[in-house]
């Protein structure tokens, strides 16, 4: 079975502080992991995926198969990063499973 766990419902930080949004997954095969973001009053959009190994808006995420984790990190948070973040896993035929989401609040 595919499962994604995001343990924090809310993460509140000050501008300029480092951010780490946690994501753990459960899947017996080779997973594809994603981070999606939903800004206020906007639709859900892809932020990054592990196979691209890219940095988007200063965010990075590394797939750690030993710890079955795909944490999202940014060294210096900005107010515009405030949003809902969802970790997602695709392990099977087009079934994309989402975590429960973490709301990131960046205060000035």
| Interface contacts to other proteins, rule CB under 8 A | 4, 6, 9, 32, 34, 36, 43-46, 49, 86, 90, 93-101
Between CA 62 and CA 101 the distance in angstroms is: 18
Residues 88 and 35: their CA atoms lie apart, in Å, by 6
- By C-beta, is 74 or 101 nearer to other proteins? 101
Closest approach, Cβ 95 to other proteins, in A, equals: 6
- The two tokens of residue 65 are 């198969």
Query: Residue 32 or 73: which CB sits closer to other proteins?
Result: 32
C-beta of 43: minimal distance to other proteins in Å?
5
- CA distance linking residue 105 with residue 90, whole number of Å: 27
Q: Shortest Cβ distance from residue 20 to other proteins (Å)?
A: 19
């Amino acid at each position: 079975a595919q499962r994604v766990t995001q343990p924090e419902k809310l993460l509140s930080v000050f501008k300029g502080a480092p951010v780490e949004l946690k994501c753990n997954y459960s899947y017996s095969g080779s997973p594809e992991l994603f981070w999606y973001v939903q800004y206020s009053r906007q639709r859900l959009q892809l932020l990054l995926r592990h196979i691209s190994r890219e940095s988007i808006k200063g965010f990075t995420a590394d797939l750690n198969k030993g710890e079955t984790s795909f944490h999202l990190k940014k060294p210096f948070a900005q107010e515009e990063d405030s949003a809902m973040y969802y970790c997602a896993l695709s392990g099977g035929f087009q079934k994309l499973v989402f975590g429960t989401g973490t709301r990131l609040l960046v205060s000035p």
